[in-house]
Amino acid sequence: MHVTPASPVTPVPTSDLYDEHGEALALCTTQFRQFGGRRLFAGPVRTVSCHEDNALLRALVNTPGGGAVLVMDGGGSLRTALTGDLIAGAAQRNGWAGLIVNGAVRDSVALGGLDLGVKALGTVPRKSGKTGAGTVDVPVTIGEVTFRPGDTVHADDDGTVIVPTA
């Protein structure tokens, strides 16, 4: 399944969204850390499910992002980094709004200098595999919620919320 992102979404602070919409939103309970220079970001969800292998996501961020947020389900692994400054830099250049990584990143100082939202569980210097294993644009469940391609995600220092597609 391939999802074409809609037009860019104006980010709204997650606390404001939750105050207005409450339980109509899906609240991700995973306590991601902020790494990118853009601390408030939002966009249509695209997904990659890839365990300790970043070949698929590297290919995806090198396509037009259209303001989407790429949610990467690395199974929570902190053994290898799914993204670093090169992949995140490609995402920024190609118009992605942000990256949410259920796993680790590397090059954290450089990530902070990018105009891109980047949330992840932590850091590790080890590179990931490059076999291309995984799937693109499939529902992924992280932090008690399912991110579905086409839903809208808003993320900031307070958390991550999903506005389900109507």
Q: According to the model, what pLDDT value does residue 3 have?
A: 41
pLDDT digits (tens, 9 = 90+) for 23-65: 999 999 999 999 999 999 999 999 999 999 999 999 999 999 9
Does any domain span residue 2?
no
Assigned token pair, 125: 């210097």
Q: According to the model, what pLDDT value does residue 5 have?
A: 45
pTM: 0.94
Q: According to the model, what pLDDT value does residue 1 have?
A: 34
Pairwise pLDDT comparison (45 vs 7), residue with the higher score: 45
Does any domain span residue 45?
yes
Q: Which domain holds residue 38?
A: 26-163
Query: Who's near 39: CB < 8 A, 6+ residues apart?
Result: 117, 156, 157
For residue 4, name the pLDDT band (cuts at 50, 70, 90): very low
For residue 138, what is the domain's CATH number?
3.50.30.40
Query: Who's near 75: CB < 8 A, 6+ residues apart?
Result: 51, 52, 102, 103
Q: How many domains does the structure of the chain reveal?
A: 1
Average pLDDT of every residue of the chain: 93
